[in-house]
Amino acid sequence: MSRLPRASGHFRTSYAQDFRLIQTPLERRWLAALLVALLTFPFIASPFLTDLASQALLAMVGAMALMLLTGFAGQVSLGHAGLLAAGAFTAGILFRETGAPFWMTLPAAALVGAFLGVVFGLPSLRLRGLYLAVSTLALHFLVAYVGGEYESKRGFSTGIVIDPPVIAGKAVTDPRAWYFILLTAAVLTLLVCLNLLRSRSGRAWAAIRANETVAEALGIGVAANKLLAFVISSMLTSLAGALFAYYRGFVSVEAFSLFLSIQYVAMIIIGGMGSVLGAILGAVFVTLFPYLIEAVMQLLPGAGAYAGVMFAVNYAAFGVVMILFLVLEPQGLVGIWRRVQTYFLLWPFKHKPVAGARR
């Protein structure tokens, strides 16, 4: 991680300081401002916007989990929707069958996720790239099949209804309360990811992504670390799925189509591969995108006439945006963010002045 501080006068007197998440007072101030903004948001925004924000926060958890696996450990996965479904169904089935409270269903979902992570991580020891992606697809269909079977055999053919979770004796139904629950989940996921990445496993993953053979030669347990990446990523995703189930109050196999997997892959590509911030930005972008398209369509003359094709337009626009990002901005949103940041960090220089540039 060892990045240089952005402002002068921050020298380290121990290695522990090298690992600090917050390096300079300026960073601390910006972070505090962001936190205040996030905490006051639901009290200012309309319930619709709060719901939108909650969706984005939920997507962030899944996107960060996928970023860990694909963006950092370099293992492609198309089974993301399957894992979300696994988490959602675990919570749904446990609730339906045993009436278990959410503090039991969530860990159970995590356990199922971890198990699936091991199972579907195993092919990654032999397969790479496209072949691995195809093998993870199997996960998706497997979970979808099991979930569908359960639904039809138990007579919930339209889906499983879940009661809202009860915290401190009160059922959580208020959008604001959900916003804070999901914000906490997203922040915790973020901290887990950042801590993993600045630790031994994070460095091992970076090495594996760069070159497996070299990583092995460096003494990194490639197999173990790959599996670890799958397990952690799957656990987080499964948890996100369970949260999704509670948030919607409803689990149905239709919600976890292959398109959802594509959306998550899109999040990390649009956000910017290999960056946790990228996963966050990508999750926000992909969540808001359909609403954005809808808003644009509303502005067009004769808006009513397009209502029927909205769905198709959405898909098409999504595809176009993906292609544009891949062609024009492979670094994703985080690349744009970094360029803006660099502009101000270098101010009033254009490039680093000679002294620094030589390094």
Partner 1 sequence: MRAPPLLRSLDDLRSMTAPALLLQRARTHPHVVAFRAKKRGVYIERSWAQYAALVAHTAKGLAALGLATGDRVAIMADACEEWPVADLAAQSLGAVVYGIYPTASAEEVEYQMRDGGAVAFIAEDQEYVDKILPLAERLPALRHVIVVDETALFALEHDKVTTFREMVDAGRDADHAWLEARVAQVKPEQAAFIVYTSGTTGHPKGALVSHGKHLAATRSVAAQYPTLNAKPHRTVAYLPLCHVLGRDIAVTLPLLTELVPHMGESVEDLPNTLFEVAPTVLFTVPRYLQKLASQVLVGISGTSGLKRVAYERAMAFAREHVKRRWTGSPSGATEAAQALWRALVFRPILNKIGFDKVELVVSGGAPLPAETMAFWHMLGVNVVEMYGQTETAGGIIAGQRGPFPRPGDVGTVPEGFEVKLADDGEILVRSADLFDGYWGNREASDAVFGGDGWMRTGDVGEWRDGKLKLVDRARDFLVTSGGKTISPSFIENILRASPFVGEAIVFGHGRKYLVALIEIDFDTVADWARTNDVPYTGFTSLAQNPRIEKLIRDDIDKANAQLARVEQIKAFRILPKVLDPEEEGEPVTPTRKVKRNQMYERFKPLVEAMYDDKEERLLAESATGVLA
Residues that bind partner 1 (rule: CB under 8 A) add up to a total of 26
Distances in Å between the Cα of 22 and the Cα atoms of 172, 175, 344 are: 33, 31, 19
**Under rule CB under 8 A, residue 25 binds partner 1:** no
The CB-of-21 to partner 1 minimum distance in angstroms stands at 18
The CB-of-29 to partner 1 minimum distance in angstroms stands at 16
Rounded CA gap, 13 and 358, in Å? 24
Of 126 and 359, which CB lies nearer to partner 1 in the complex structure? 359
The CB-of-350 to partner 1 minimum distance in angstroms stands at 4
DSSP bridge partners of 171: 166
Asked if residue 64 lies in contact with residue 189, where contact means CB atoms within 8 angstroms, the answer is yes
**Under rule CB under 8 A, residue 20 binds partner 1:** no
Among 3, 15, 219, 302, binds partner 1 (CB under 8 A): 15
**Under rule CB under 8 A, residue 5 binds partner 1:** yes
Of 20 and 154, which CB lies nearer to partner 1 in the complex structure? 20
Rounded CA gap, 352 and 336, in Å? 19
Asked if residue 276 lies in contact with residue 67, where contact means CB atoms within 8 angstroms, the answer is yes
Of 168 and 354, which CB lies nearer to partner 1 in the complex structure? 354
Of 4 and 300, which CB lies nearer to partner 1 in the complex structure? 4
**Under rule CB under 8 A, residue 29 binds partner 1:** no
Residues 300 to 359 in contact with partner 1, rule: CB under 8 A: 346-356, 358-359
SS3 216: helix
Nearest to 247 by CA among 107, 56, 36: 56
Asked if residue 215 lies in contact with residue 204, where contact means CB atoms within 8 angstroms, the answer is yes
Of 10 and 154, which CB lies nearer to partner 1 in the complex structure? 10
Of 259 and 343, which CB lies nearer to partner 1 in the complex structure? 343
Q: Collect all residues with Cβ–Cβ distance below 8 Å to 191 and sequence separation of at least 6.
A: none
**Under rule CB under 8 A, residue 17 binds partner 1:** yes
**How deeply is 153 buried, as exposed, middle or buried, from its count of CB atoms within 10 A (0-12, 13-18, 19+)?**
exposed
**Under rule CB under 8 A, residue 3 binds partner 1:** no
**CB environment 163-175: b (16+ within 10 A), e (fewer):** ebbeeeeeebeeb
Of 327 and 354, which CB lies nearer to partner 1 in the complex structure? 354
The CB-of-6 to partner 1 minimum distance in angstroms stands at 9
**Under rule CB under 8 A, residue 126 binds partner 1:** no
The CB-of-19 to partner 1 minimum distance in angstroms stands at 12
Asked if residue 5 lies in contact with residue 24, where contact means CB atoms within 8 angstroms, the answer is yes
**Under rule CB under 8 A, residue 198 binds partner 1:** no
**Residues forming the site for partner 1 (CB under 8 A):** 2, 5, 7-15, 17-18, 346-356, 358-359
